A and B are shown apart, each in its own frame.
Chain A
Amino acid sequence: MKALILVGGFGTRLRPLTLSVPKPLVDFANKPMILHQIEALKAVGVTEVVLAINYQPEVMLNFLKEFEKKLEIKITCSQETEPLGTAGPLALARDKLIDDSGEPFFVLNSDVISEYPLKQMIEFHRGHGGEASIMVTKVDEPSKYGVVVMEETMGKVEKFVEKPKNFVGNKINAGIYLLNPSVLDRIELKPTSIEKEVFPEIAVENKLFAMVLPGFWMDIGQPKDYITGLRLYLDFLQKNSSSKLATGSNIIGNVLVHESAKIGDGCLIGPDVAIGPGCVIEPGVRLSRCTVMRGVRIKKHACISSSIIGWHSTIGRWARVENMTILGEDVHVADEVYSNGAVVLPHKEIKSSIVNPEIVM
């Protein structure tokens, strides 16, 4: 079985992290974002994944070689030379997605994190016998998104309504599709929107069905949602593979610690924290609701909450970092400094406190 992951563009919403690596390679819960998806696909028997990209192919290709070997799955790139929207990339990758088997193929949006119940989706797709299946997820504020209006029993999709002013439903497109090869015949090689042009066409023919996504869903393409997403993901881990989470008297709630990270005495870590490879957390540190990327050193008595600390950064002694502070790669916060929501670009030193949210270039 095959799959296409829509990786798309520059990841500007996740800057400054994406100034150092392309978005799919930004770590989430100690694993590159795209690896979560590739692993889920492999688990249901996908043998080839095509990444639809338009940016930094060299960096992606290097990463892929490493993971192709480890996961024993074929990974290729399909590179857009001009932006093709959300459907065009499928046409571009056509030859890679169709084979003689006639099997349907998955399409995933790379910004999405969820439980990936792909096996259930395959069964759902076989059950209704239609041309395309999409996952939808229930949200509190549907008007921010595109709402999928569907009939409840079979999940047959009636229509899509973009950012509806009045309530028409609370299910939105979760960015996970399972499509028959015939869908490719509906897509021309030009900038095309799958939600606005392709799916409505299939819906009219009563061949598009939606399955409500069980479990959590988050678009982690921006820092605030990334932090919320980590909470949901760790919660999921706790219910399904709690052995992966850290335990101990200095751990509160769900905490993920890489085996090569070191945590000193007198620390209090959690809830909802991920600590990456090679990190050093010195004694007396408090961490909550934050991600600490590879190679970071947090010095004694520091306190960090609701923030993301980028690769190889350091946080000084008694520093306090909170309220959506996002540090890029190689950022060094001096001792005793306070950061309230600073967004700091790579290779910087923060020597004095930042009391109001500010971008430091």
Chain B
Amino acid sequence: ARLWRMLSFVVALPGVAVCMLNCYLKSKEEHERPEFVPYSHLRIRTKPFPWGDGNKTLFHNPHVNALPTGYED
């Protein structure tokens, strides 16, 4: 168990910490929202979703997810 305890605290958890730092630094940059192009292969609505107004996906985020007609905001 000594070996795995050592690996946990010296390799595994610091590895996670480094990746956390990497993500935090990368998230600092501003990213622009891509322009809306009404491609027919995207935002498919063959059948309404069984929740809400049937037009929004389960994890809909109005800032980054466009509806078939374009961004809401």
> A and B, one complex?
no
Interface residues of B (CB under 8 A from A): none
